[in-house]
Amino acid sequence: MYELKAVHKRYGLAKVALRKIDLTVRDKEFLVIYGPAGAGKSTILNILAGITRPTTGDVLRDGVSILHLPPERRDAAMAFENYALYSHLSVGENLAFPLHARGMARAEIDQRVKRIAEILGIGHLLDRRPGFLSGGQRQRVALGRAIIRPADIYLLDEPVGHLDAKLRHKIRAELKALADDLNATVVFTTTSSREALALGDRVAVLNQGRLEQIGTPADLYHRPANAFVASFVGDPPMSFITVEPRREADRVAFVTPDGMPVATLRADALDGLRPADASIQVGFRSNEVRLAQQGDSAALRGRVDVIEHLGHSKIALVGIGRDQVSVSVPAHTSIHVGEEVAIAFPRDAVHLFQDARAVVHAVPSV
Amino acid sequence: MASIKATGLVKRYGTVKAVHGIDFEIADGEFVAILGPSGCGKSSTMRMIAGLETVSEGTIEIDGKVVNDVRARDRNVAMSFESYALYPTISIYENIAFPLRSAGMNADEIDRRVRDIAEKMELVPLLGLKPQGLSSGQAQRVGLARALVRKPSVFLLDEPISHLDTRQRYRMRRFIKQLHQQYHYTMIYVTHDQEEALALADRVMVMSNGLIQQMAPPDEIYARPVNAFVAGFVGEPPINFFDCRLARDGGRWTLAFEGQTLTLPERLSDKAAQLGSEALAAVRPHFLSIGANGPLVLEGKVFVTEELQDQNLVMVDVGKVRFTLVAHPSVRPRRGEVVPLTIDADHLLLFPQDNSRRIDDDLAA
């Protein structure tokens, strides 16, 4: 188990990379650190590896501080976003390097190199030098060199970020299976929501050096702690409508500024809601809402601003007052930009935010 | 506003041919995405339209006039590059204002336009900074803002949003699309990302090996790919391919693969007859399901399930072939479990095998 305790990292005088982060990496878990560019993801990996020293705070392994331990004594296997391969060695020699360094027998090394190269689809490149590879091929070699050897912890910094969609899909599955098989402890960074949800046993959402939320993919998706997590986890992102509360006996109705009802909730479910001087928003996922049919009671009316094809489905971005809501519809649905539509939503699929903090989530039953 | 027409367009670099003689027309106000892997000729095509590359053979017309010999700056074509070359010594504000100052616009109008575009693209807090402090995503947005601020007659966008995270990608994509809907610029968007191409464009031009493979609206590209290359390049998760043998059994055609045999639906009889004994079969992940739900049932072994919350992606191995299917979040088969796998008979595709070789391995990366 690794722990970051109140880790703060400043570069120079002005740039703060991490702000008092508390983070635990459990044994044998696949932890994804997910956040936008500049969030501090790589800094966490570098601190775990011992390459970067925190400005303040402590790093523990199984309860013991490892701040003083240099990288070479930490047994962390790392894949960098910028590859860092040995340019004078072939792909095969690059992959074998960490195994030679451990004095493994030649036959065993060959076998492992072959297996990893096959998994990553670089078996035909073993004799080439890194300089003759594409960026995506180099990235796969860097990933292979990290995962080829046993290690206490694997630190993978956007290791598939430069691959095309098809390869990313393939290697993602292999990586998940491999981590399972090896019972490995992995910390993996990404800017892709899909990757974070697909791979993580837990996902830590990082933003501007702050930990916004850490939890299972289901926690983050169904019970986001705040509007940032809600809009950052899930593809397409959650949409929001600004509403005003209207108390009606034991219920509170939330209506748009134009008076359209969005949701009605029982007042006792709204303990966290403060008297309304702050902005309140209702969040929807694109698959939690649909185009209204005749007979739907509650419906929001709006106008289609944008239609995005996604192959099997398309997303209609519907303008409602000053907000826009994404609605996922089957690809064959006839719908046009400029069309007036009504949106229906199941009453239990509501996410309510006040001042961007989550107040209540009514999770749809699966 | 401008229409574009290419006739017999060829680009050679020395003895290497990048574009092999292509024809296309882009209507005034149309939004076209040029989609393909690296080295397919898409960037060369765009650069010839912009006037940054000479045309080796054939012609490019803008609004009916051949522009082969018209200089780039006289074409009223604006571009945003992947490598967003920003001027390092001046502020973001001045970077965006640069094309307007060069055009001699008055200061008030420049200020209005710069602030307007900066607000739309969430660049206001950055206006006073120099480029060196920016993340790559931010730099990309500045590059885009600088191209858009001129309001030219043709926009060429070369992978403008490839480095952004999921949320920014949606935001930028919708911004670009609304911009197009509002002003009806003729837009050409060059990308290797099929999702961007489908989401944005009125029509997608899929290129490979210097040739246009298909040019059609997004729904048609996805549902009726003309060949295996297009089928394989478009769609997320990617389409499932498997080599198979075809045979006639009485009145019906059968498909044999990894020791299992399926009877083909009537719909595919003519296609099968035309292909002969070997074919490349394909089915999209949405048209596969776990369970025996129809006539086309295979047996496979579960490799991995990815729970994306709104849907699950299940990888199932049938012999040496790994299939991906999209399932409801409640479908969570165990790793190693042997399951029946049904192909939706209405959505099985067959292609000739010779078209398949260039699909599987190492396309771009």
Q: Are A166 and B232 inside 8 Å of each other by CB?
A: yes
Taking residues A123-137, what's their average pLDDT? 91
Q: Tokens in use for A92? A: 């095969």
Query: Which residue from A minimizes the CA distance to B331?
Result: A366
Asked if A237 lies within 8 A of B166 by C-beta distance, the reply is yes
Which among B136, B170, B194 is the nearest to A236, CB-wise?
A: B170
Residue A366 has pLDDT above 60, yes or no: no
Confidence of residue B365 (pLDDT cuts 50, 70, 90): very low
The structural domains of chain A, with segments of one domain joined by +, span 2-225, 239-362
Q: Looking at beta carbons, which residues of chain B come within 8 Å of A170?
A: 322
Determine, for residues B178 and A305 on separate chains, whether the beta-carbon distance falls below 8 Å: yes
* A292-329 pLDDT, tens digit each: 887 776 678 999 999 999 999 999 999 998 899 999 99
Question: Between chains, do B166 and A194 touch, taking CB under 8 Å as contact?
Answer: yes
Which CATH number is A239-362 given? 2.40.50.140
Q: How confident is the model at residue B355 (pLDDT cuts 50, 70, 90)?
A: low
How much is the average pLDDT of B166-193? 87
CB contact under 8 A, B199 and A237: no
Q: Which of A185, A212, A225 is nearest to A201 (CA)?
A: A185
Our measurement of the distance from residue A191's CA atom to the centroid of its chain's CA atoms, rounded to an integer in Å, reads 6
B360 touches chain A (CB under 8 A): no
**What pLDDT, on a 0 to 100 scale, did the predictor assign at position A298?**
64
Tokens of A24: 């635990």
| pLDDT tens per residue across span B8-41 | 999 999 999 999 999 999 999 999 999 998 889 9
Contact list, A39 vs chain B (CB under 8 Å): none
Q: Would you say how long chain B is, in residues? A: 365
Instruction: Give per-residue burial for A162-191: e unless 16+ CB within 10 Å, then b.
Output: bbbbbbbbbbbbbbbebbeeeebbbbbbbb
Percent of chain B with pLDDT over 90: 67
- How many angstroms separate the CA atoms of A365 and A345, rounded? 14
Q: What is the pLDDT of residues A211-262, one digit of tens each?
A: 999 999 999 999 999 999 999 999 899 999 999 888 888 888 888 888 888 8
**Going by DSSP bridges, is the β-strand pair A186-190/A30-34 parallel, antiparallel, or unpaired?**
parallel
Per the listing, tokens 């989550």 go with A358
Sole residue written with tokens 């289609």: A304
Mean pLDDT of all residues in B242-257: 92
Among chain A residues, CA nearest to B179: A306
User: Which CATH number is correct for A2-225, 3.40.50.740, 3.40.50.300, 3.30.470.30, 3.20.20.150?
Assistant: 3.40.50.300
Which residues of A are less than 8 Å from B310 in CB distance? 221, 234, 285, 287
Q: Is B232 on the interface with A (CB under 8 A)?
A: yes
Q: With pLDDT > 70 as the criterion, what percentage of chain B qualifies?
A: 94
pLDDT band for position B165 (cuts 50, 70, 90): confident
> What pLDDT is recorded for position B364?
33
Question: Cβ–Cβ of A218/B219 closer than 8 Å?
Answer: no
| Yes or no, beta carbons of A36 and B329 under 8 Å apart | no
Q: Please name the helix (run of DSSP H) or strand (run of DSSP E) that holds residue A239, with its range, or none.
A: strand A239-248
Is the per-residue pLDDT at A122 higher than 90? yes
Q: Is the pLDDT of residue A77 over 90?
A: yes
Work out the pLDDT band at A365, boundaries 50, 70, 90.
very low
Give the model's confidence band at B6: pLDDT under 50 very low, under 70 low, under 90 confident, else very high.
very high
pLDDT for A92 equals 96
Q: Does B308 touch chain A (CB under 8 A)?
A: yes
Locate all alpha helices (DSSP H) within chain A, ordered by sequence: 41-49, 91-100, 106-119, 135-147, 165-182, 193-199, 217-222, 227-232
Q: How large is the ipTM?
A: 0.90
* Min Cα separation A72/chain B (Å): 30
- Number of Cβ within 10 Å of residue B336's Cβ equals 9
pLDDT one-digit tens code per residue, A186-206: 999 999 999 999 999 999 999
Nearest beta carbon to residue B167 from set A166, A232, A317? A232
Residue A72 contacts by C-beta under 8 Å, 6 or more apart in sequence? Answer: none
Q: Are B145 and B117 in contact (CB under 8 A)?
A: yes
Highest mean pLDDT among A276-280, A352-356, B278-282: B278-282
> Which residues are A351's β-sheet partners?
A283, A361
A-contacting residues of B 270-299, CB under 8 Å?
284, 286
Would you state the pLDDT for residue B81?
Answer: 60
Whole-number percent of chain A with pLDDT over 70: 96
Residue A143 clears pLDDT 90, i.e. is over it = yes
By Cβ distance, the residue of A38, A169, A237 closest to B238 is A169
pLDDT of amino acid B149: 86
Interface test with B, best of A166, A178, A327 (most B CBs within 10 A): A166
Average predicted confidence (pLDDT) for chain B: 89
Q: Do B237 and A169 touch (CB under 8 A)?
A: yes
B170 interfaces chain A, CB cutoff of 8 Å? yes
**One-letter amino acid of B343:** I
Distance, CA of B193 to CA of B190 (rounded, Å): 9
Written as one letter, the residue type at A362 is: A
Using CB atoms, which residue from A167, A305, A315 is nearest to B365?
A: A167
DSSP letters of A92-115?
A: HHHHHHHHHTTT--HHHHHHHHHH
| pLDDT tens-place string over residues A146-155 | 999 999 999 9
Query: What is the nearest CA distance from A217 to chain B, expressed in angstroms?
Result: 7
Q: Is B331 on the interface with A (CB under 8 A)?
A: no
Whole-number mean pLDDT of chain A? 90
Cα gap B76→B66, rounded to integer Å: 14
Distance from CA of B255 to the nearest CA of A (A): 26
CB contact under 8 A, B335 and A177: yes
Chain A residue whose CA is closest to B219: A311
- Report the gap between the CA of A250 and the closest CA in chain B (Å): 32
Residue A84 pLDDT more than 70? Answer: yes
Q: What is the pLDDT of residue B363?
A: 36
| Contact (CB<8Å) B307/A198 | yes
Which comes out higher in pLDDT, residue B93 or B357?
A: B93
What's the average model confidence in pLDDT over B222-246?
94
Q: Which residues of chain B does A38 touch, with a Cβ-Cβ cutoff of 8 Å?
A: 135
Domains of chain B: 4-232 (3.40.50.300), 237-355 (2.40.50.140)
CA distance A112 to A195: 26
